[in-house]
Amino acid sequence: MVASLAFYLFAIITVAASVMVITARNPVHSVLFLILAFFNSAGLFILLGAEFLAMTLIIVYVGAVAVLFMFVVMMLDVNFVELRQGFLDYLPIGGTVAFILLAELAMVLGGWIISPQAASSGAAPIPADLTNTHAIGRILYTDYLYLFQGAGMILLIAMVGAIVLTHRRRKGVRKQVIADQIARRPEDTIKMVKVESGKGI
């Protein structure tokens, strides 16, 4: 009974926070709701007995990714109004990608409905003498090694792309140019003024 109440509580808060992430007008509020969704998702993982995934969700996503989002939003002063102006230009591409993702999800769900034993056959049994963390590590680095490394490469490309987009050229933003600072000469920046006594500048 207690587990069922905890599940419904975590699930309701997670869904509500997820909706607020995409509907909040203030980007900072969206990040805060995202952190709330992560915490409640971690609670759901604990109820399922996957404590390793719960701690990973809190340490990695809340402690690093969400905080990084917060710093990017608050420190870089990104003009979100200007970014939203080109929304209609990318709508066909975004709609195509969304349709493909929905079709893939429908195929997965359809496979489970057509073949109910597919879900049970895909689950690897956990040996009694291994912890949850040890079992996940053994499966990841044996059965799914190439997929795991591929996911790491995709995340690396996404990180590089985010850095490139963040450091795009914008008007009115001053940037440090090391070469110009090294090549600067004193006579280009210093002006010697001889001030007569009692007259000032």
User: pLDDT (tens digit, 9 = 90+) per residue, 52-96?
Assistant: 888 888 888 877 777 777 777 666 666 666 666 666 777 788 889
CATH number for region 1-85: 1.20.120.1200
Whether the per-residue pLDDT at 176 is higher than 90: the answer is no
Whether the per-residue pLDDT at 125 is higher than 80: the answer is no
How high is the pLDDT of residue 129?
Answer: 73
Band of the pLDDT at 119, cuts 50, 70, 90?
Answer: low
Band of the pLDDT at 141, cuts 50, 70, 90?
Answer: confident
Give mean pLDDT, residues 104-122.
66
Which whole-number Å values give the CA distances from 196 to 135, 191, 192, 193, 201, in the listed order? 84, 16, 13, 10, 8
Q: Mean pLDDT score of the chain, rounded to an integer?
A: 79
Give mean pLDDT, residues 29-50.
86
| pLDDT tens by residue, 182-191 | 888 887 778 8
Polymer length of the chain: 201
How high is the pLDDT of residue 91?
Answer: 78
How high is the pLDDT of residue 117?
Answer: 60
Contacts of residue 70, defined as CB under 8 A and 6 or more positions apart, other chains included, come to 28, 31
Rounded CA-CA distance 70/34 in Å is 10
Check: CB of residue 10 under 8 Å from CB of residue 1: no
Of 15-24, 25-34, 78-87, 174-183, the range with the lowest mean pLDDT is 78-87
Token pair belonging to 171: 């008007």
Give mean pLDDT, residues 47-55.
82
Give mean pLDDT, residues 43-58.
84
Whether the per-residue pLDDT at 40 is higher than 70: the answer is yes
* Boundaries of every domain in the chain: 1-85
